[in-house]
Amino acid sequence: MHFAMGWSKYNMWFLGVWPEPIKTSRAKRYISNLIFWSTLIIVLLFVCLPINAHLFIMSTNLSQIIQNLSINVPCFLAFIKQLFLRYHRKALTLLVGQILNDWTRPIPEAERQAMMRNAKRSHLISILGSTVTYLLLTAFTLMSIWNNMQFEELYSLPFPSFFPYNYKKSPNFELTWFGETMGAIITTICYSCFDSFVAVLTLHLCGQLAVLKINLNSLVNATRPDNFAKFQERLGFIVNRHKELYRYATVIEDYFNITLLVQTMISTSMLCMTGYRLVTTINEGQVGADIIFYIVHVIHVITHFFFYCYIGEQLLTESLSVTQSAYDCEWYDLPPKKAVSLTIVMMQANVSFKLTAGKFSPFSLKLFSAVIILSPAAITTQRIRSGVLRSQQQKAVNFTIVS
């Protein structure tokens, strides 16, 4: 469990939102509450409110609005994610407690290997998601430094912000700069840890479905010779376990579907706005840190959206393959009345487990391809290729004329 959830646990503990499944002391709970409220107030006062004030007061053209929104929307979404994780802490504690029980109970080596494969996937997604998010923060910092050097601004803040006081004099500038820097780090951690936590919960469910398939494949062989009482007992365990996993999947779906809908809508909107800004910047012939930031931002949005679609696809595949596992076991060696009992599992498994965006559309690779094909990022790539092709054709024409 530590391997699968270690990265998410440290990040969520830093934000004061880790749902600890083991009973802790009053001092630790007090520290967790203090960390949560401190980080929340820093993000609210130094990031969310100043950026929104700048959007409504200082932004005067479309370019400035899009640049503000490309920073404003992810920061506000990270703020919402932190509130969500804290508000649903009790329900998430039950889910983490169930994961802890699954890892601590004695199981055969084959089943533990199946769980470990999915744990490695969730661990990799956590690291990649955090790396891309920190890369976005680095690109944004470079863009801010580059733009300040271009306009020779000495007293500049990390974010486009508006404060109701003169922040350009000392020590106001140092305190404000430190607050915004801390807010940037907190929002970066919160944005990535929420996605990695959902991946851990979902892929653990996929691992338990893989364990269930192992039990189904060995059901007939484990109950020989003619030990039908043991067959009935193991079949009952499989049916009850499938019901438990379905309730686990339902809890994940019920608690996360609205937040994932908001995430999907914001991600697609940001992909459109950032793609548009990238296209216009390239067409204007501007070369600098702005292009790097927009490219990294597009990569960040696509990567996190792909993670959701990937884990949704894995969940759909694993849940529907339970039926195939029931069919692949050696049911033909059983008496007809016993073999018919397997239809209970097959009928249950026909109801697929889903991770959806607001119960409208399940996350899958099909959804990912549909969004990416219609995104401005794909249009940008197409336009760059066509521009290179036209340049090559023009060179060929010039060479022919000279010859």
* Residue-number span of the structural domain to which 309 is assigned: 1-389
Backbone angles phi and psi of 194, in degrees to 5: -65, -50
Residue 403 confidence (pLDDT): 46
> The tokens of 239 are what?
């049916």
Report the b/e string of 258-294 with b at 16+ CB within 10 A.
Answer: ebbbbbbebbeebbbbbbbbbbebbeeeeeebbbbbb
CA angle 265, 266, 267 (to 5 degrees): 95
The tokens of 291 are what? 């292009």
Q: Is residue 399 part of a domain?
A: no
Q: Is residue 169 part of a domain?
A: yes
**Residue 403: inside a domain:** no
Assign 3-class secondary structure to the chain.
CHHHHHHHHHHHHHHCCCCCCCCCCHHHHHHHHHHHHHHHHHHHHHHHHHHHHHHHHCCCCHHHHHHHHHHHHHHHHHHHHHHHHHHCHHHHHHHHHHHHHHHHCCCCHHHHHHHHHHHHHHHHHHHHHHHHHHHHHHHHHHHHHHHHHHHCCCCCCCCCCCCCCCCCCCCHHHHHHHHHHHHHHHHHHHHHHHHHHHHHHHHHHHHHHHHHHHHHHCHHHHCCCCCHHHHHHHHHHHHHHHHHHHHHHHHHHHHHHHHHHHHHHHHHHHHHHHHHHHHHHHHCCCCCHHHHHHHHHHHHHHHHHHHHHHHHHHHHHHHHHHHHHHHHCCHHHCCHHHHCCHHHHHHHHCCCCCCEECCCEECCHHHHHHHHHCCHHHHHHHHHHHHHHHHHHHHHHHHHHHC
- Measure the CA–CA gap between 380 and 279, rounded to whole angstroms: 6
Q: What was the pLDDT predicted at 353?
A: 84
Instruction: Flag whether 201 is in a domain.
Output: yes
Please answer whether residues 310 and 337 qualify as being in contact, where contact means their C-beta atoms are separated by less than 8 angstroms: no
User: Domain for residue 259, yes or no?
Assistant: yes
Measured CA to CA, the distance from residue 353 to residue 242 in angstroms comes to 11
How is residue 352 written in tokens? Answer: 């697929």
**Cβ atoms of 260 and 358 closer than 8 Å:** yes
CA dihedral 375, 379, 381, 384 (to 10 degrees): -160
Say if 401 falls within a structural domain. no
Give the tokens for residue 383: 């336009």
- Whether residue 204 is contained in a domain is answered as yes
Count of domains observed in the chain: 1
SS (H, E, C) 32-65: HHHHHHHHHHHHHHHHHHHHHHHHHHCCCCHHHH
Rounded mean pLDDT for each run of 10 residues along the chain, 403 residues in total = 70 84 81 89 88 82 77 85 87 86 83 86 86 83 71 66 81 84 86 87 89 80 65 80 87 87 82 76 68 81 88 88 76 71 75 83 84 61 49 48 46
Give a yes or no: residue 397 inside a domain: no
